[in-house]
Chains A and B, each alone.
Chain A
Amino acid sequence: MTVIDETPAAAQAVETGKVSSHLHPEPGYDLALHPVPTGREEIWRFTPLKRLQGLLDDQASDAHLSWTTQLPAGVTLTPISGEEARELGEFLPFDRLAALAVAHAGGAMLLDIPAEAELDEPVRIDLEGTGLDQVVWGQVIVRVGRFARATVVIEHRGQARYSHATTVLVGDGAQLDLVTLNDWSDDSVHAGQVGIRVGRDARVRASEFTIGGDLVRTSTNVEYAGPGGDAELLGLYFVDAGQHIEHRLFVDHTAPKTKSNVTYKGALQGEGARAVWIGNVLIRKVAEGIETYEENRNLVLTDGCQADSVPNLEIETGEIEGAGHASAIGRFDDEQLFYLRSRGIEESEARRLVVHGFFNDLIRRVGVPELEERLRAVVEAELERHVLTDGQA
């Protein structure tokens, strides 16, 4: 099959039998568990710590993003205490960023979708940053009741230094589409831990689009509260000159007969554009009969870009249905460009078609029709913004 980026990734997959997970340090609230990193730690080695602009500093702040919400009938959004968030079963902080966010957020926002709710309209949460003066700490819980069916769209924009810990609890048999758009100003920094617990026979499709920000580092952790859960994690990113975009994923198959499918695709353009993708999958001893597949593809549009792509599969049981991964970093496929151009299509237009094509199947899989058009426009705008037209490969 022809794919745009057949070139094997520089970083090769590590397939190991049994690893005491150095990749996943002990999570917890206590800051002592999460000392200030040196940058050499496995979970930090790709992140330019200086550009985190204070998100690793233990400093109080009562600044907030500005929230605009659209809540369909029956859906509520209420502030709760940190203690209540713990009682609801929020994910423990996996790293210092999340630990600080929880420590300083001063309570969480709880988005509650009641059991058996069938939402026809998406829940919309627009979060706007209003400046860089103060760090914003955030703590969010999304609770989807059993057998509910919902779409939640969270958009991040504006200017901010923002770090949050978000937990998504998907009840038994529920179906959730969660779409997050990270479209910050060029000087913003954003760190986020998103923990998703998938209930028995529940289905989650979490799509993440990262476009803007000087540095964005998100860590998405998935675990299963019971058998039969299905998680699809999709990501699309566009990295411009000087940007650092890092997506870290950890799917922990904690229950039998569960599924995970991870697909992240990104394009890089401009000097110093840097993409990092870490895809960790742990298949625990109990997790018999699971299926997992993860894939990351990077399309490098110009010189001066760097992409790191590190899939990791840790398997503790032999009884699995299927497990696989693919990772690729490549440039334009010359044969595709030749084919299009041999039909009279100019080089710049041919490149544009190929990039749209690269992202199209992913955009289609997001499954929120009203967003598809927007997302295509986002890709188009990114292509416009930069010089695909100058003919460099």
Chain B
Amino acid sequence: MSTLEIKDLHVSVTTEDGPKEILKGVTLTIKDGETHAIMGPNGSGKSTLAYSIAGHPKYEVTGGSVTLDGEDVLAMSVDERARAGLFLAMQYPVEVPGVSVANFLRTAKTAIDGEAPKLRTWVKDVNTALGANGLDASFSQRSVNEGFSGGEKKRHEIAQLNLLQPKVAVLDETDSGLDIDALKVVSEGVNTFAQGGDKGVLLITHYTRILRYIKPDFVHVFVAGKVAESGGAELAEQLEAEGYDKYVAAAR
């Protein structure tokens, strides 16, 4: 049982001309077993929503609430949110020079589980998760994301998702920069996770392409910092045909 509930969320960033409101009242509920797709044009605030849920210090929440199973997510630190069961696959995963993937994954797994993973099975688990996402075992000796291609970074994010097994995963444009084969592999990883039971997925994307491989239960059109319309999978098809123009015009 897990529910991520976002209510009337307002978020600002600091700019040279003072604070600028990016999210203007976002309301969304993701229950376990549900996959929600958020689709919106560039600059509409999709990443802002993702980062705000994860607690990035750049984004200031000025109103509203985010709860996970009733717990106040906004009151938690970044790492507490992750330990509470939130996971963010980033649009631009960060390079951490000198820290090996193996060390990073073990440290993260230990933090999330509250105990070190079993030595006997862990290495195998890591190699399986990397392998399932098309990364060979040599990646575990490389520095986190350093020198990874764009696609490899995305695969690495999903490998982490499979290993860390959060309650709710927010995937920020995991599909961008992937060729069709990689897209299938990564979608497979997300589906494996989603079918794990009690899992929620918030899939942020720009294109409908990934929705051929990951079937959303709900689709939300995101424009100018809020949800403009919600519907089922058919809404994605409509967006594919018509684009965002109608919504963008309405938001002006």
Residues of A participating in the B interface, judged by any CB pair closer than 8 Å: 1-4, 334-336, 338-347, 349-350, 353-354, 356-361
Looking at B16-24, B28-36, B104-112, B210-218, the stretch in contact with chain A turns out to be: B104-112
Tell whether A338 pairs with B78 under 8 Å between CB atoms, given A349-B111, A353-B107, A357-B143.
Answer: yes
Which of chain A's residues has its CB closest to B93's CB?
Answer: A339
Per-residue A-contact encoding for B139-158, CB less than 8 Å = 1, 0 else: 00001101000000000000
Could you tell me if A357 and B96 are in contact, using CB atoms closer than 8 angstroms? yes
* Residues of the B chain whose Cβ atoms lie less than 8 Å from the Cβ of A342: 54-55, 78-79, 81-82, 87-88, 90
* Residues of the B chain whose Cβ atoms lie less than 8 Å from the Cβ of A361: 97-98
Question: Bound state CA distance, A356 and B83, in angstroms?
Answer: 23
Interface residues of B in 79-104 (CB under 8 A from A): 79, 81-83, 87-88, 90, 93-99, 103-104
* Residues of the B chain whose Cβ atoms lie less than 8 Å from the Cβ of A343: 82, 104, 108, 111-112, 160, 164
- Decide yes or no whether B56 CB sits under 8 A from chain A: yes
Could you tell me if B107 and A345 are in contact, using CB atoms closer than 8 angstroms? yes
Choose one: A2, A345, A356; the contact of B79 (CB below 8 Å): A345
- Decide yes or no whether B57 CB sits under 8 A from chain A: yes
CB distance from B67 to the nearest CB of A (A): 18
Tell whether A356 pairs with B111 under 8 Å between CB atoms, given A341-B82, A342-B88.
Answer: no
- Decide yes or no whether B14 CB sits under 8 A from chain A: no
Q: A2-B95, A343-B111 are in contact. List 13 more A-B contacts (CB 8 A).
A: A2-B94, A3-B97, A4-B97, A336-B95, A340-B96, A341-B79, A342-B79, A342-B90, A343-B82, A344-B164, A345-B108, A358-B97, A360-B99
Choose one: A2, A335, A340, A358; the contact of B104 (CB below 8 Å): A340
Choose one: B99, B108, B144; the contact of A344 (CB below 8 Å): B108
Residues of B participating in the A interface, judged by any CB pair closer than 8 Å: 54-57, 77-79, 81-83, 87-88, 90, 93-99, 103-104, 107-108, 111-112, 143-144, 146, 160, 164
Could you tell me if B79 and A353 are in contact, using CB atoms closer than 8 angstroms? no
Could you tell me if B82 and A353 are in contact, using CB atoms closer than 8 angstroms? no
Could you name 7 residue pairs across A and B whose Cβ atoms are closer than 8 Å?
Answer: A342-B78, A342-B79, A344-B108, A345-B107, A346-B79, A350-B79, A356-B98
Q: Which 9 A-B pairs have the closest CB atoms?
A: A357-B98, A360-B98, A344-B82, A343-B108, A339-B94, A344-B111, A357-B99, A2-B95, A341-B78
Question: Bound state CA distance, A174 and B113, in angstroms?
Answer: 53
Question: Bound state CA distance, A359 and B112, in angstroms?
Answer: 26
Could you tell me if A347 and B79 are in contact, using CB atoms closer than 8 angstroms? yes
* Residues of the A chain whose Cβ atoms lie less than 8 Å from the Cβ of B160: 343
